[in-house]
Chain A
Amino acid sequence: MSNHIVESLRKEIEDFKIETKTEKVGKVLELFDGIAKVSGLSDIKSSEMVTFPNGETGVVLNLEEDAVGVIILGDFSKIKEGDEVNATGKILEIQVSDSILGRVVNAIGAPIDGKGAIKAGKTYPIEKVAPGVVTRQSVSEPVATGIKAIDAIIPIGRGQRELIIGDRQTGKTALAIDAILNQKGQNMICIYVSIGQKDSKLRKLAARLDSGGAMDYTVIVSAGASEAAAMSYIAPYSGVAIAEYFMDQGKDVLIIYDDLSKHAVAYREISLLLRRPPGREAYPGDVFYLHSRLLERACRRNQKYGGGSITALPIIETQAGDISAYIPTNVISITDGQIFLETDLFYKGIRPAVNVGSSVSRVGSSAQIKAMKKVAGTLKLDLAQFRELEAFSQFGSDLDDATKRQLERGKRSVEVLKQLQYAPVKTEHQVVTFYALTKGFMDDVPVEKIKEFEAGLIDYSERNAKVFYKDIKETKMWTDKGEEQLKKVITDFKMSFSK
């Protein structure tokens, strides 16, 4: 046994070739809060990796006349003034391979879940120019999030960038987690990038994904609240580099950045320490580019260039619902739509607390299957009218029948869109529910019994509308025959339900 070990080590040592070449070396002049000012290092490139004597890596961000500004990725407490810094000649990169799936890694791709080393594969640069126009294709395939309010009203397509925005404690992360949980069997790789979050929250989230069987197709990239700002700054870029690795294999990837407000704060901290001039809200001038270059890397590539897509769901936390602050407006303008979550709705018990009026998906119904388009087409308008009438009806009780009907329908729509956390609904079940709602089958069901009706209907229809389900699952089409069967099944169920 020991001979075998010695033999394998001998072979490895034999394979090792020492390359002797001149290296660029600098010296640490100043060190403060994860930032080092280094002299020397002439000819170094921006974003180039440097190494410190204790093995830590740094990235060059500022190139000045006589010195360079380096952000240190990792423990900077052991670095001293006068330490030697070696240039590597490489732009910051991350190790990626298929075995990264199911793992929790830090911002530089090192595992932090205690499950051992990740088998090395390819290296991918963290900063990369987004795919060009010729390689892209328009978004047309849906991402089924399993959240009724989103799939029906604000559909998300593969390759889209949809912002989740709202105050603290409004269910932003929950929405993203539900979307990941619903990707089981949907041929989607998920990447959750946690930026500046509490480790306890991450632990809970990983356990939840694990118990839901979602870790098999998920990677968590984490830059915790206790880590240096530099790690938070590069975490989303590392996440998208992992996503690109899978997209290059023609796979569809869903990436969640939780959240970009903390990312911007981390970048502001680094910029101020590097003495870059502050602008609005003390953010540096290139904070828009910080997010635009990240989100532009989400795309749907055409078949000629290998297919595959990256769908991005960035999260932004607002303060007291102020979506006109600097970072929210930036990210709203970059993304292809936003899902707006409201505290008032949350406390009214409307969960997910999606404000349907302020939320929008610029890709629209092209990211919906035909059946969903057919049943949910009028839902957004109905709800908008309901909100208006609801406000108006508070002034008087004398309402005509049509208005009353609309109000009643609206109440039922709101009830149908309510959903428990971690309970994503399959697309075909959503279609059945929305069909029953929009065709008026729920109009005479009491509002408090809507949830019961919905659950019963799904169960009953699954057993009795096999043709309809087959059509939806296999062809994703809406056929007259299927509709007839569904109509009959709903009528039958309603009779038994009212008894």
Chain B
Amino acid sequence: MSKISPKNIAEAIYKATEGKSGVVLAEILHRGAQMIQNKRMIGKSDEILKTLQNIQDIETGTVRAKVTTAKKISHEERNKIEHEVKEKYKGKSVVSEFFEKEELLGGMRVEVGDEVLDTSYKSALMKLKDFLIQAK
């Protein structure tokens, strides 16, 4: 049998808890935690939790976005961004986190999974720098 991966554990826990609630769910989660300890995978618990969340997101059609801007953006702008993300990734719902980072100078950076849309001025300047070095 091949090595057990955090993904295997997360899938097993998800399947075991599917449709369960209350005391039964709590009992299953307790056993799941015990299994993680028995398999000596406590160190990988972060990865297991992340995978569990990914599985849950796929099942429920949730898209998680991380938006970083140079300045605080308005509520309407936030809604607009969330709407665009929902359309692009064809999700049922969007869970977004908004951050401010002055070093972006302007524009914004949207991260969904391992995809990044970077329209920040900082990134544009970096690209211009590379272009000028290459042109030389």
Listed residue (B113, B114, B118, B119) with the most chain A CB atoms within 10 angstroms of its CB: B114
B23 at interface, CB cutoff 8 A: no
Which B residues are in CB contact (< 8 Å) with A16?
127-128, 131-132
CB atoms of B127 and A23 under 8 A apart = no
* Candidates A20, A41, A120; contact of B119 at CB < 8 Å: A20
Cα of A398 to Cα of B114 in the assembled complex, Å: 86
A63 at interface, CB cutoff 8 A: no
A interface, size bucket: 20 to 34
B78 at interface, CB cutoff 8 A: no
CB closest residue in chain B, given A8? B135
CB atoms of A65 and B5 under 8 A apart = yes
Interface residues of A in 108-138 (CB under 8 A from B): 117, 120
Interface residues of B in 54-105 (CB under 8 A from A): none
B35 at interface, CB cutoff 8 A: no
A24 at interface, CB cutoff 8 A: yes
Binary interface encoding of chain B residues 98-136 relative to chain A, with 1 for a CB under 8 A from any of its CBs, else 0:
000000000000010111111100001001100110111
CB closest residue in chain B, given A117? B136
Which A residues are in CB contact (< 8 Å) with B124?
18
Which A residues are in CB contact (< 8 Å) with B117?
20-23
Tally B residues with Cβ within 8 Å of A.
18
CB atoms of A12 and B132 under 8 A apart = yes
Listed residue (B115, B134, B136) with the most chain A CB atoms within 10 angstroms of its CB: B115
A102 at interface, CB cutoff 8 A: no
CB atoms of A22 and B116 under 8 A apart = yes
* Candidates B118, B131, B132, B134; contact of A23 at CB < 8 Å: B118
Interface residues of A in 53-70 (CB under 8 A from B): 65-66
CB atoms of B131 and A25 under 8 A apart = no
Which B residues are in CB contact (< 8 Å) with A66?
5, 7
CB atoms of A41 and B114 under 8 A apart = yes
CB atoms of B115 and A23 under 8 A apart = yes
A314 at interface, CB cutoff 8 A: no
Interface residues of A in 1-43 (CB under 8 A from B): 9, 12-13, 16, 18, 20-26, 39-42
User: Which 4 A-B pairs rank lowest in CB-CB distance, beginning with the nearest?
Assistant: A40-B114, A25-B116, A22-B117, A22-B115
Residues on B facing A (Cβ under 8 Å): 5, 7, 111, 113-119, 124, 127-128, 131-132, 134-136
Instruction: Provide a sorted-by-A list of 6 A–B residue pairs whose CB atoms are within 8 angstroms.
Output: A9-B132, A16-B127, A23-B115, A40-B113, A41-B114, A65-B5
Given A9-B132, A23-B115, 12 more A-B residue pairs with CB atoms under 8 Å apart are A12-B135, A13-B128, A16-B131, A18-B127, A20-B118, A22-B117, A25-B111, A40-B113, A40-B114, A42-B113, A66-B5, A120-B134
